[in-house]
Each structure stands twice: as C-alpha cells, then as structure tokens.
Amino acid sequence: MKPLEGITILDFSQFLSAPSATLRLADLGARVIKVERPDGGDICRTLYVSNLIIENDSSLFHSINRNKYGVSIDLKNPASRDILWSLIGKADVMVVNFRPGVVEKLGLDYASVKQHCPSMIYGEITGYGKKGPWSPMPGQDLLVQSLSGLAWLNGNQNQPPTPMGLSVADLFAGQHLAQGILAALIKRASCGEGSYVHVSMLESVMDMQFEVFTTYLNDGGQSPERSAVNNANGYINAPYGIYQTLDGYLAIAMVPVPVLGKLISCDSLLGYTDSETWCTRRDEIKSLLADHLKTRTTEYWLSKLEPADVWCADVYTWDKLFKTDGFKELDMLQTVRTPGGTEFATTRCPITIDREHYKSAKAAPAIGQHNNQYIYYKENQHGTDYLF
C-alpha cells in the first residue's frame, strides 16, 4: 500500500510548478484528478520544449501529468458551479496556480473554498507571493531565476549571468508545495482542520540559496566572486571545478592543493602550502591545474585520484550515463502507455519506501477522459441533472 492511498486531490494547475507537486503526490498513492478547460485543456499541452510530440501533446505535458485522472469543466460557466462544488466537496486537497486575481474571479480562492469545505487543504503557487509590488508579475522560471540572484552564481567571472539549464524555480516550488501539503495532511489528521499552503517560486529559489545567502548576510554583505577559470561555486576555493582533459572532462571537488599536485605529478601546485592562497590565488591555481589536466585522459586522472579517495568524477553526457551499470542499478526509468496506446519512457518517482520503487504505467489523461467516472449526468424534463 502506498502512503497516500485514499487521498483525493483536485489539480486545477497548469504549466510546470504545481503540476510537479501533484505528480509527486500521485506517485505516492494519491488519486489526482486534473481539471482542465474543455477547449484546449492545460496550456502546457502545447508548450513545446522540443520537437517531440506524443499524441498531439507536448512531451513536457506528458512527463509532468502522468499518473493522473482528467476531467474537463468550464470554470467560467455558471452552469458548472454545482459540478465544481460537488467535486471539491469530495476532495481532500485542491491545488491552483492561476495568474494573480484569476482565482478570485472564478470564486475558487481559499476563503470561498473554506466556507464550503472547512477541512480542505488548499495549495497554491504564485510567482512572487500574494502581496507586494512584484505580486502581479508573471511567475516564469527564467524571470524568477534572474530576479533571485541565482543567475549570478553560474558561469565564469567574465561571462554574463547564466541561468541553470533546468526550470529549477518551477520544480523546487512544486516540491515545496508537496511538502507543505503533506504537513497539512498530518495536521488535519490530528485536529481535523484544513490549511492554506502557499509557496512562491521566488521564495523557493531563495531557499535553494540558503547556504550562500547565510554567508552573504553574515560576512559584511560581500557578494561571492565567480572564478574566472572553471567556476563551479562562488565561495569554494581552488581546485573546485570541472576541467577539460585530453579526451573529455573531469570534476574535482575539495582537496588540498599540494596533495592534488603530488597525486597528479603537477609540481607547480606543490608550493601552495598555505590554505589561504587557495582562496586568494584561486584563479591562478585553477589555471595551472587546467593546463596540466589537458595532457592526459579522464580515465588516467581517475586512476590516480580515486584510489587516493579524492572526490572526483567523470562528466557524463546522457548517452554515456544511461549505459553505465550505476545508472542501470538505480532502475530510474519506467514505461508509460497513453490512452491511445503509445508507449514512452520517462523517469519514476525518486522516493523509495520499504525498498519499493514506485512506478505507474498510467499516462497523462486526455482532456475530459474521466468525465464519465467522476461527473455523471442524466437528462430530464427540467434539463440536465448532475449526479456525483
């Protein structure tokens, strides 16, 4: 039995952040019912991050909405009110991430929902919070990364700010929302009260930076300086970084510089015996190391460093990663089958409980695929009566 079996979640969210939260909760056993507009559904269906389309929808939509049920309701149509409130009344959790002001116009804000369902756990993701001058701004991942200062941590000193190559603001906000919902479920189990769980993408990205923020806040407000050579962390001393080798790349973490020099026979590093210089002369040291590592293959350097318990690693492409025994042992992939019969590979839930990997072949729903399962209706002399 999965830990969230018996929990029903209504997912009104779109795009990536909040749907990633409900995906994780679905993987843990919750019944997630995705609510979409009848005409076009979630905008993410046509948000293409590549040219890969699966049964007329984007691969992004399929990857973030697998393992969910789907119903279609026109939230703007007053005739849908009874259907909507009946569904909400049968749910434990509802999740939204509409543009600022939209949820209030629809009458689906927390205050309205609480009046009907006091025990509801209501989860919401915004871009920058509910108040303040930034609250009306679009909560888009690249913009949040840029405003948060995160982009200034990436790239070398002479390069422009560099965003991370993943939608980290969306994904971290989603995982924070999932954590908050789980905490609220525990609270309700003990006292019977519902909760309003709010996460902003900006706060999530700021939380990602808790380590460097803490240093900045307690170090006289001195900003980290990106290394001009193979930057990997604005605060960590040489040799920390990724270096080119004769045939690839090598990642080296924390190791005393003279020790590293001895292991790889780089005499020019042996003189840096004062650990203070690993910071004050960081780029100088990394430049010497970079030139030296280009003379041999990655495998050669690993053969010298790994037996000495130096923290280092090859730098894999996805193609190389997927061929390794280490990756295969993790059993991270699963096959999902769409309603139309198309099969595609994707990742599984990364959480293992009682030695069990949680997998599901259930794909993202077609628009309104499960209306007959969750919304029943019959015609009579007065029009249409909806039964739930």
- The SS3 assignment for 93 reads strand
Handedness of CA 339, 345, 348, 350 (dihedral sign): negative
Active site members: 170
**Cα dihedral: 350, 354, 356, 358 (round 10):** -50
CA atoms within 13 A on the CB side of 311: 8
C-alpha to C-alpha distances, 120 to 6, 92, 95, 96, 356, nearest whole angstrom: 15, 6, 11, 13, 30
Are 28 and 351 contacting, i.e. CB atoms less than 8 angstroms apart?
Answer: yes
Mark the ranges of the chain whose per-residue pLDDT is less than 70. 376-388
Q: Which two tokens stand for residue 61?
A: 């939509």
Q: What is the DSSP letter of 224?
A: P
Select from 90, 74, 16 the least CA-distant residue to 41: 74
pLDDT of amino acid 76: 93
In the chain, % of residues over pLDDT 90: 91
C-alpha to C-alpha distances, 163 to 151, 160, 349, nearest whole angstrom: 5, 10, 26
Beta bridge partners of 122: 94, 196
pLDDT of amino acid 339: 83
pLDDT of amino acid 383: 45
Classify strands 352-353 and 356-357 as parallel, antiparallel or unpaired: antiparallel
pLDDT tens-digit series, residues 81-137: 999 999 999 999 999 999 989 999 999 999 999 999 999 999 999 999 999 999 999
CA-based radius of gyration for the chain = 25
pLDDT tens-digit series, residues 129-167: 999 999 999 899 999 999 999 999 999 999 999 999 999
Q: Which two tokens stand for residue 205?
A: 């990205």
Q: Which residue has the tokens 């999902």?
A: 336
Q: What is the pTM of this model?
A: 0.94
pLDDT of amino acid 375: 81
Are 119 and 148 contacting, i.e. CB atoms less than 8 angstroms apart?
Answer: no
Q: Which two tokens stand for residue 79?
A: 């005739």
- The SS3 assignment for 308 reads helix
